[in-house]
Amino acid sequence: MLGPTDDLVTLIAIAVDNGADALGMAGGDGSLATVAAAAAEHDLPFICLPAGTRNHFALDLGIVRHDLLGALDAFTAGLERRIDMAEVNGRPFLNNISLGVYGDAVQRSGYRDAKLQTMLDTLHEVLSSTAPTPELLLTDDLARRHTSPLVVLVSNNAYALDQPLALGSRPRLDTGRLGIIVLDQLGAKRPPVSAWSAPSIEIAATAPLPAGLDGEAVTLLPPLHCTTRPAALRVRISRHHPGASPSALLSSR
């Protein structure tokens, strides 16, 4: 159990030094990423226990998110596979890094209690303000430059965008590629949303960037170098759980 003065990195080091055969974490996706990075470093199996607010990573692993006790079976009777991890400037993430309006919204104190309203308020302020904001610049797979987009989302493997019943879900976590989604400013001379995949991407900016890193508020120094680490993480999942995300299950039908 983590207390207010406990340091997660220290507790992980103690567990590894004591000969842990696996590392598991019950918590939000930000805490999961810290433990998963240590598991990957020491080539230990990682067990995700869905005890966070939304448990996005558990969803894409194919864990039944309301079955916390059942997820514990992964320690004793789990099925193991390897999946990718991702990094931004050396910092690991399991789900995604979000920049622009979403990155600004995550920084706000009311975000977790009212995500949609906070997002709308932030979007309104960005569109109506004349104050300068950090200018983002990136180039997509068609060599088009995106300057000052409203939202940039870089994910550890791509989200399904063609399945309305499984939006927000990734069909695979082992493609060795990042998913990139860009929402451009209104009036841009191209479709407002661009999406592609790549093993890495560079994002330039004119100032430090507020960002959401697996849902946690952080500030990142540009340029941002996002890259994938193929098959870096061993994960174990209870045999009683599907072991595939909603979008993967829909694709197999």
What is the longest distance spanned by two Cα atoms in the chain? 58
- Write out pLDDT tens, residues 87-122: 999 999 999 999 987 666 566 555 444 444 444 454
Q: Are residues 174 and 190 in the same domain?
A: yes
Query: What's the confidence (pLDDT) of residue 10?
Result: 95
Residue 125 lies in a domain: yes
pLDDT at 196 exceeding the cut of 80: yes
Q: Are residues 51 and 156 in the same domain?
A: no
Phi, psi (deg, nearest 5) at residue 212: -105, 120
- Write out pLDDT tens, residues 177-192: 999 999 888 766 777 8
Phi, psi (deg, nearest 5) at residue 119: -65, -45
pLDDT at 229 exceeding the cut of 90: yes
Q: Are residues 28 and 72 in the same domain?
A: yes
- Write out pLDDT tens, residues 56-67: 999 999 999 999
Cβ contact 222:204 at 8 Å? yes
Q: Are residues 127 and 115 in the same domain?
A: yes
- How many domains would you assign to the chain? 2
Side chain identity, residue 173 = L
As a 3-state breakdown, the chain gives helix, strand, coil percent values, each rounded to 5, of 25, 35, 40
Distance CA 33, CA 175 (A): 19
Q: Which residue range is the domain that position 238 belongs to?
A: 8-84+231-245
Residue 142 lies in a domain: yes
Rounded to two decimals, the pTM is 0.87
Query: What's the confidence (pLDDT) of residue 184?
Result: 87
CA-closest candidate to residue 241, choices 86, 23, 72, 118 = 72
Q: Residue 30: which CATH number?
A: 3.40.50.10330
pLDDT at 15 exceeding the cut of 90: yes
Q: Are residues 75 and 119 in the same domain?
A: no
Query: What's the confidence (pLDDT) of residue 109?
Result: 55
Q: What angle do CA 171, 174, 179 make, to 5 degrees?
A: 65
Q: Are residues 53 and 110 in the same domain?
A: no
C-alpha dihedral (101, 107, 113, 117), degrees to nearest 10: -30
Q: Are residues 206 and 238 in the same domain?
A: no
Q: Are residues 108 and 209 in the same domain?
A: yes
Residue 252 lies in a domain: no
Mean of the per-residue pLDDT values of the chain:
86
CA-closest candidate to residue 212, choices 86, 30, 83 = 30
